[in-house]
Structure 1
Amino acid sequence: MKDDAYHYMRNSIDDNLYNEWWYFNAISNNSQFFVFYLLCDPDNLTGSGKLQVLAAVLEDGKPPVIGLRQSRGFGGDRNSPTLDLDQSGFALQDESSLNVWGRASDETSGTPISWNLIYQPAVSPWFAIPVQEKVGHTKGGWMKWLAYMPSANVSGSLTLGESVFKVDGTGYHDHCWGRWALNDPQFAWAQCSIPKEGFSLTLGDILGEQQRSYLGIKFEGRTIIFSGKQVRLNMTRFANDPQTAETYPSRYEVVAENNDFLLNMTANVQKTVPLMIDYPAPAPSYLVFQQVSDLQGVLYSKMGREYQFDAVGFTGYTTPRM
């Protein structure tokens, strides 16, 4: 649990480059939800620090509702998963579950969004990047990445305006922290899970000349890890976002192989939400495409077994934007 706690400690070494976020998503019936709790330059040493909650609700056949709330302060616990970010946050519900809550307002319509959810882990955590991994072009830049709930059962409620929705579905939660220029590196990622089968898949890929891949599967009580050149991610189809005029991948194809397993997977994007994290010029802003996707694949054991999966999950793609 301590690994999912708040990690920032001012040490006068690149404190202005410190980033930490906790990400949660959920799928319930035909709706999807995600939220970021973001700390970027927590002491605001650059004047561009961000203490933000970014959330979105996606209902089939309706425009997404995207909420942003900028906080004036925050509180965290270094020994347990607890964060208070100005009427939003999370805390332990019991020995393993998290209560996740918050509020924001849609940037276009002003529609208020609030959530009060319980995340109960269905599989154990996976430390995708357990040591300080170099990331970005800033000297000494590094990050860690913990998939704290690669698969979760999620219950509770979402409120949009005056409408209240019951949530009873599947979810995911991860946590990243480190010291790097947030608007510098490009990432792609994918995630899906089937809690009743004890299956989850988490993929993260640092793009560009620093390209590195991290892929973990939880299945039948074991953790199957692929990394580095064992993972090949190709983006084979693209689309244009009318809101930002930027291009994003709409189909991902993954082949991963280690000594014991072979994975073939495709992710076809069904919904895309652009999130902009703004920086003052001349620095680039940071564009985050959050996507709901259909993930299909086969995991082959070299002992002759195979497991097929077909699940709705999430993918994502980030890029700097001038």
Structure 2
Amino acid sequence: MSSASEASTAGSPDDYRRFGLDPATIEPWEDGARTENSPGTYEWWYFDAHLDDGSKLVVVFQNKDAVSPDRGLSPLLRINLDLPDGRTIEKLHALPADSWSAATDHADVHLGANRFEGDLHTYRITATVDEVSIDVTLIGDIPPWRPGTGHLVFGAERTDVFAWLPSVPQGTVSGSLTLDGATRSISGVGYHDHNWGNVPLPRIVHDWYWARGRAGPYSVIASYITSVERLGFQAIPVFMLARDGEIVADDASRVRFGIDDVFTDEVTGKPVASVVRYTYADGDDEIVVEFTRERDLVRARMADGLSPVKRLLARLARFDGAYLRFAGPITVTVRRNGATVERHSDEAIWELMYFGRART
């Protein structure tokens, strides 16, 4: 039986000293480059936005594929755009290694003519792939946050690391979007985080649910990460709740995770929950955050995007990864002594990342 220490959030005083972090302050350098692009490591800067016209936008600058990071620097630019008319545009553009640079003192990533730059409060993101081009500014409404040190540690020696910094848990987005030669102004609500690690994700993570959303005065970041079988399928919950821009709850030990209406997705073969629920308990009070799937935005087997040779190698290695993204309402319910005192709903997007084979 694996012990809980083999997969956990690093948050002890020793952990803060190990990673050179201040428990009370997040510094701009934490959003700068945290790896040296060496084989075995990976890193990405992520941005998403729910636009006022109903569109959903995702932009990711990656120094390499996190599933197989043993290669050297092999940068990728990803743009996903879900439009109100039902169209989904997905772009994944590989660029040469010499097109990549990333500062270490703050977020300033160049990928050819594309750039992701900011200071933990204000960010400018410009990215173009084929007929899609974006130029947006993200201004934080909620201060940067991390769960503990932001480092999840795995293995008996706690040397395998996957790190995560929500630099802008929620912010205001403005800018422009060009599609098929037509440029229009866009605005909405956005989010930015930064991830890095030193071990291929399929070696430490079996699956995760991850979501962010806003409903009424509340903003939420929530995740439920399950480690691989050799680590005992240990669960690591992550939870942050802000009200009117102020973080009011982030103790993941108080969170109960639940799922309802589970079915097997026909495309990926993975079990998918139609309802994902996080219940934060504080004495007799509870805050329940539910994400209810109404439609699928992405249903993809990771191996399908590989070359024929790599696809064959993935099958031989029994790699069966999948990525699913969903849309539907987020509902935040506040209960005091069993009585509902607040309930708010709005539109949200969340994901299921599945690196392992489906569990029975």
Normalising TM by the smaller chain, what interval? 0.7 to 0.9
Q: Which has the larger radius of gyration?
A: 2
Matches within 5 A, 1:254-273: 254-259=278-283, 262-269=286-293, 270-273=295-298
CA distance in 2, matches of 1:95, 1:145: 14
Percent identity between the aligned chains?
17
Rounded to whole Å, the distance in 2 between the matches of 1:153 and 1:293 is 21
Displacement of 1:240 in angstroms is 5.5
TM-score (norm 2): 0.75
2:197 match:
178
Alignment correspondent of 1:187: 208
Aligned to 1:317: 352
Superposed CA deviations along residues 170-222 of structure 1, whole A, max 9, x for unmatched, are 1111111221212341211110136x94x321012112512010101112453
Which residue among 329, 350, 353 is the counterpart of 1:294? 329
Aligned to 2:135: 116
- Partner secondary structure for residue 39 of structure 2: helix
Give the residue type in structure 2 aligned to 1:84.
Answer: H
Match for residue 109 of structure 2 among 79, 83, 93: 83
Give the distance between the partners of 1:272 and 1:98, measured in 2 at CA.
26
Report deviation, 1:285. 5.9
Report if the CA contact (8 A) 2:45-2:194 is conserved: yes
In structure 2, C-alpha distance between the alignment counterparts of 1:316 and 1:214, rounded to whole Å: 14
TM-score, scaled relative to structure 1: 0.83
Whether the 8 Å CA contact 1:2–1:81 is kept in 2: the answer is yes
Q: Give the alignment's Cα RMSD to 1 decimal.
A: 3.2
Read off the aligned partner of 2:101 and give its amino acid letter. Answer: G
The whole-number CA distance in structure 1 between the counterparts of 2:169 and 2:342 is 18
Cα distance, 1:84–1:149 mapped onto 2, change above 3 Å: same
1:143 to 156, 162, 182: 162
Residue 34 of structure 1 and its aligned partner are, at CA, apart by 1.0
1:221–1:129 distance in 2 versus 1, CA, 3 Å = same
Q: Which amino acid is 2:299 matched to?
A: P
Q: Cα distance, 1:113 vs. partner?
A: 1.7
Runs of 4+ in 1 over 6 A off after TM superposition: 136-139
Considering fraction of residues, name the structure with more helix. Answer: 2
Tell me the secondary structure at the aligned position of residue 170 of structure 1. Answer: strand
Q: In 1, Cα distance between the equivalents of 2:46 and 2:69?
A: 24
Distance in 1 between the 2:102 and 2:157 partners? 27
Offset, 1:261: 5.1
Name whichever structure is richer in strand by fraction. Answer: 1
Q: Do the aligned partners of residues 84 and 125 (structure 1) sit closer, same or farther apart at CA in structure 2, a change above 3 Å counting?
A: same
Residue 151 of structure 2 corresponds to residue 132 of structure 1: yes
Give the Å deviation of 1:122.
0.9
Query: Which ranges of structure 2 fall in alignment gaps of 5 or more residues?
Result: 1-27, 228-232
Higher relative contact order (CA 8 A, sep 6+): 2
Q: How many residues align?
A: 308
2:69, 2:200 within 8 Å by CA — same for their partners in 1?
Answer: no
Partner Cα distance (1:138, 1:50) in 2: 29
What is the CA–CA distance in structure 1 between the aligned matches of 2:292 and 2:62, rounded to whole Å? 27
Deviation at 1:159, TM superposition (A): 2.0
1:31 aligns with 2:49: no
Q: Secondary structure at the match of 1:40?
A: coil
CA contact (8 A) 1:69 1:103 kept: no
